[in-house]
Structure 1
Amino acid sequence: MSSEAVVPRPHYDSRAVAQDVPVKEPPVVGPDVPLPSSGSATAGFRSAKYSPAEWFSNYHSILQQAATNRRHAGSIQRASKALYQDAEAATLQTQAEGTRLLGERLQEIHHWKSELRQHIDRLLAHTQALSALKTRLEKALDATETPYAIATDNLNCRARRPGPDLVRDTVEEELLKEVDLIRSVQALLKRTLAQVVSQIKMNRDAKQMLELDWSDKYQAYNLDDLSGGYSNMSPDTRHHPSSASVQDQVCNSTSWTRFTQDNLSKALQEEQASNSLRLLVERVLQDTTHDLRVQCSSVDRALSQRCAELIEAKTQLEAKLAQILEQIAAQERSIVATQQAIHNKEAPLRVAQSRLYLRSLRPNMELCRDEPQFSLEGELRQMDATLASLRQQLSEARGSLSHLEESRITIEKDIRCKTHSLFIEREKCVTHRQRYPTVSTLSGY
């Protein structure tokens, strides 16, 4: 056994080293401190033991480290408590603010949904009204075919009037005006119908945009309503780590509001255009119907006046024909009487001529121009003059009778012409014009 003094090993607190607590060095044993004896009784047991000073230093270090750790843990606990209390309050406040903002967002979405719904209903009503006007325009356009057929048929019928009555009168001028008016009305109705069809298409496009916007807001409202119903006790919430990432394509509130406002502004423009077009169509139908009926009345008045003129002319011709026939009969009787008078002068003429002939046979001095001779010569001259006058009168009477016959033929021909013209005007034109469409039909009802 060695008699050298055994040096005690330094003490290290493993917990202090782990916690970075500075380790106090053990007190150095001075030379005056007597070393323990190295008797044979302690041989093999001294190298692993501490001294009392080391023992005191060790547990005092433990106490100090425990106190330090306790104070540090207390401060951490107080800081943690304040932190989670503040975090809890902030979380509750943020969650309440989010719930409030979701509620305001729901109100805003509901407001815009209501606006969209109102304009959708208005566009639907305007479109239905324009569709009804489109049907009326189509019916009115179809109804103009009847007046056009009537007017052209009247012109064709009147073209078959006999020569003397084939005149460009007031009726023909009014019929030509009616044909031109019907053509212009048809062109106007076609243009108006095209405008109505175009406006219906634009209304439907605007309505589709509003419906898409309304559908998006309907889904967004349901999602935000469901989101606002979530609470910390909701069992169907889950973690979605990537949901908070901001996307580049997401719009902001200003563009979101402007998008709906633009759609509503477009819808309002289409509503105003539809309303103006409805008023225009109503006015067009009213004006065209009024113009067609006024022109129809003008044609009817001209036809009535023309029929009255034909009837009056026919009546006058018939009266004149009766007078001509009476005059022809009288003239024929006068011719017969004149012929009889001429015939009655034959016997006196023969007597006078016979007397003169026989007296011309008197002999010698008896053949003298005595008073009987002068009387017979005067009688013969008078009878010759009378016969000449009667023959002249007979010739004039026969010429007059020929002229009367010509007048009779002309009047009868003109009466037949007037009768045919009156048949065309009254039986063809007037009767056909009774099929003229009514005001309601021309208005598209």
Structure 2
Amino acid sequence: MTTNNDQYSCPHICPTERGHEKETKQQETAALTKTENVHATPYVPGMINPPTPILYPPGAPPKYLPQPTDSTSGDILGMGPIGPWASGHLDWSPQAGMTGVRPVVDKYSITRYSTGEWRKNNKFTLTPRATDKAKDLEVQTKKDIANTFINMDKKHNDSNKTLNSRIKDLSYWKEQVQLAVEGITEELRNLDENRERLKGACRILMLPEAISRECLELRTGRYEPDLVRDDAEQELIKEVAIVGEIRRVFTDTLAKAEAQIEMNKAAKTAIEFDWSDKLISLKLDKLNSTLTPQSNLILAHPGVTRWPENATSIEYWNHYCSESIRNCEEVRRRSEGLRRDLMTTIIKGSRDMKTQADRTNAALAETIDATEQMCEKLEDNLKQNLQKTADIENLIHHLKESLRNIQDRNKCVMTRLHGRNYDRPNVENCRDEAQYALMAEAKFIKESSESLQHKLRQAEVVRSELMKYRGELEKDIACKRKSLNIDKDRCARVRAHMPSPEEFAAG
């Protein structure tokens, strides 16, 4: 029964112990049999032949060089019944150097090489291989050197052509990038100027707002009858509201301009870095295109014949060049659009302010005109009132004089009646016509006095009403003059400083 190692081993390559013992026994048996066969023929006297001359074919090389009759096997020697031969098979084949193939060494000789090998070694020794090799090497080396320098010149010219082509590409993209840099720089400067204009417009916007609020504050100083929400008041309130809306739009636009300026600066920085890189590369390639093996600036730089870690492909380089310019141009176009919107906002905002200011001025002028007409009418009424008051006072004075005259007449009638009633004696105290006439006169005087007293009271009432109306007229005239002073003088003086659209646009 075999072991585990036996089932994975080859008996021909890795024989086991029993297989090795069997092979050894077979070799020993073969050797004994051969020995017996060699020495089986006994020595016979007189059987030694004379020397046989060695015949060489015509045209054969010298004796010391390999001959066509040479053999690599030692069997041609022939084993005789006598001789100091070492036992074994002689073999001078290419495998003769392997262990177990050469004959064993006995006490008489060491048979290491055959005659053929000796002749072959002579030929090898006599062959001038080093000299021929040196000649061949010299010729081939000179030819290779010439071809090498020719090829190196071709490669150098090819490198110069590619460098010149690369210089053209770099010059083209450098010009394009430089144009983009100039464009974004100009746009950044223009946008910054417009931003300053917008800031100036925001500062100027404080003036119309202050004017509008000042006018509203001044109009609160009007007297009671003129504290109305007229068209001028409405337009002033609209003006303040429009100022607030314009300020909001200006502030939003200014914030957008600030953000766009930051984007412009970032784009300018990126494109300037690209321009700087291309300028450095262009200078380097121009220097490289002028270098020759005879230049004084060339040095040995070991380890440079390799791709850098940060090297990019030419496709990515072309894509990056076009993309960097496209990104810069896109930012510049967006900035131009914002700049146009910014100026449009300033111009339209200033126009709206001017239009609203004109509306407010027109409303104020209308209010002032109406107030002036009202004030003139009130002054006319006041003059009429004063004249009428003077007439009523004259009338009252006349009524009083008339009543005093009537009182004198009443006293006269009463004196007559008193004398006739109490001074006539007896029957003389009769109801004669004179008595009736005096009674009628006394009655008429009394009625007339009462009528005039009523008229006097009415005149007094009318005079008090005229006096009251006079006070109202004077108060209303003062109110109107106050309003005219506010609207026509103070508000007009303040609103004369209202900025124009040109001032807004100039910042």
Same topology, TM > 0.5: yes
Query: Which of the residues 210, 227, 250 maps onto 1:149?
Result: 210
Show the 5 A alignment for 1:202-241.
Answer: 202-241=263-302
Is 1:326 matched up with 2:377?
no
Aligned pairs, number = 392
CA contact under 8 A between 2:413 and 2:442: conserved in structure 1? yes
Q: Which amino acid aligns with 1:272?
A: R
For 2:43, the equivalent position in structure 1 comes to none
Supply the distance in 1 between the matched residues of 2:501 and 2:64 (Cα, whole angstroms): 118
Q: Which amino acid aligns with 1:239?
A: A
For 2:158, the equivalent position in structure 1 comes to 97
**Deviation of 1:268 (Å):** 0.8
Per mean C-alpha deviation after superposition, the further-off stretch among 167-176 and 370-379 is 370-379
TM-score (norm 1): 0.81
**Deviation of 1:277 (Å):** 0.9
**Deviation of 1:92 (Å):** 2.5
Is 1:24 matched up with 2:65?
yes
Supply the distance in 2 between the matched residues of 1:26 and 1:301 (Cα, whole angstroms): 139
Is 1:272 matched up with 2:333?
yes
Per mean C-alpha deviation after superposition, the further-off stretch among 102-111 and 159-168 is 159-168
Is 1:393 matched up with 2:455?
yes
Supply the distance in 2 between the matched residues of 1:441 and 1:97 (Cα, whole angstroms): 66
CA contact under 8 A between 1:135 and 1:444: conserved in structure 2? no
Supply the distance in 1 between the matched residues of 2:405 and 2:297 (Cα, whole angstroms): 148
Q: CA distance change for structure 1 residues 115 and 363 in 2, over 3 Å: closer, same or farther? A: same
Q: Which amino acid aligns with 2:65?
A: K
**Deviation of 1:202 (Å):** 1.1
Supply the distance in 1 between the matched residues of 2:485 and 2:151 (Cα, whole angstroms): 105
For 2:439, the equivalent position in structure 1 comes to 377
Q: CA distance change for structure 1 residues 345 and 23 in 2, over 3 Å: closer, same or farther? A: farther
Query: Which of the residues 458, 473, 477 maps onto 1:411?
Result: 473
Q: CA distance change for structure 1 residues 99 and 374 in 2, over 3 Å: closer, same or farther? A: same
Question: SS of the residue aligned with 2:304?
Answer: helix
Is 1:186 matched up with 2:186?
no
Higher share of residues assigned helix? 1
**Deviation of 1:90 (Å):** 2.9
Q: CA distance change for structure 1 residues 23 and 204 in 2, over 3 Å: closer, same or farther? A: farther
Per-residue CA deviation, residues 382-437 of structure 1 (Å, 9 max, x unaligned), is 22221111111111111111101111111111111212221122222111111222
Supply the distance in 2 between the matched residues of 1:156 and 1:248 (Cα, whole angstroms): 75
**Deviation of 1:180 (Å):** 1.4
CA contact under 8 A between 2:347 and 2:501: conserved in structure 1? no
CA contact under 8 A between 2:66 and 2:123: conserved in structure 1? no
Q: Which amino acid aligns with 1:374?
A: Y
For 1:252, the equivalent position in structure 2 comes to 313
Q: Which amino acid aligns with 1:143?
A: I
TM-score (norm 2): 0.72
Supply the distance in 2 between the matched residues of 1:210 and 1:355 (Cα, whole angstroms): 132
Supply the distance in 2 between the matched residues of 1:148 and 1:27 (Cα, whole angstroms): 128
**Deviation of 1:65 (Å):** 4.7
For 1:424, the equivalent position in structure 2 comes to 486
Supply the distance in 1 between the matched residues of 2:413 and 2:296 (Cα, whole angstroms): 162
Q: Which amino acid aligns with 2:493?
A: T
For 1:129, the equivalent position in structure 2 comes to 190
Supply the distance in 2 between the matched residues of 1:433 and 1:237 (Cα, whole angstroms): 80
User: Over aligned residue pairs, what C-alpha RMSD do you find?
Assistant: 2.7
Q: Which amino acid aligns with 1:240?
A: H
Give identity over the alignment, percent: 26
Show the 5 A alignment for 1:350-361.
Answer: 350-361=411-422
**Deviation of 1:332 (Å):** 0.7
CA contact under 8 A between 2:389 and 2:467: conserved in structure 1? yes
**Deviation of 1:179 (Å):** 1.2
Per-residue CA deviation, residues 339-398 of structure 1 (Å, 9 max, x unaligned), is 111111223323333333333344555444333333222222222221111111111111
**Deviation of 1:220 (Å):** 0.9
Supply the distance in 2 between the matched residues of 1:402 and 1:387 (Cα, whole angstroms): 22
**Deviation of 1:61 (Å):** 7.4
Larger Rg: 2
Supply the distance in 2 between the matched residues of 1:23 and 1:118 (Cα, whole angstroms): 89
Show the 5 A alignment for 1:293-312.
Answer: 293-312=354-373
Q: CA distance change for structure 1 residues 356 and 413 in 2, over 3 Å: closer, same or farther? A: same
Q: Which amino acid aligns with 1:138?
A: K
CA contact under 8 A between 2:350 and 2:501: conserved in structure 1? yes
CA contact under 8 A between 1:138 and 1:444: conserved in structure 2? no
Per mean C-alpha deviation after superposition, the further-off stretch among 385-394 and 103-112 is 385-394
Q: Which amino acid aligns with 1:409?
A: G
Q: Which amino acid aligns with 1:172?
A: E
**Deviation of 1:77 (Å):** 6.3
CA contact under 8 A between 1:113 and 1:218: conserved in structure 2? yes
Q: Which amino acid aligns with 1:328?
A: T
**Deviation of 1:73 (Å):** 7.2
Supply the distance in 2 between the matched residues of 1:394 and 1:332 (Cα, whole angstroms): 10
Supply the distance in 2 between the matched residues of 1:89 and 1:129 (Cα, whole angstroms): 59
**Deviation of 1:288 (Å):** 1.0
**Please, which runs of 5 or more residues in structure 2 have no aligned partner?**
1-62, 70-118
Q: CA distance change for structure 1 residues 345 and 26 in 2, over 3 Å: closer, same or farther? A: closer
**Deviation of 1:134 (Å):** 1.3
The higher-RCO structure (CA 8 Å, 6+ apart) is 1
**Please, which runs of 5 or more residues in structure 1 have no aligned partner?**
1-21, 29-56
Is 1:434 matched up with 2:496?
yes
Question: SS of the residue aligned with 2:307?
Answer: coil
For 1:16, the equivalent position in structure 2 comes to none
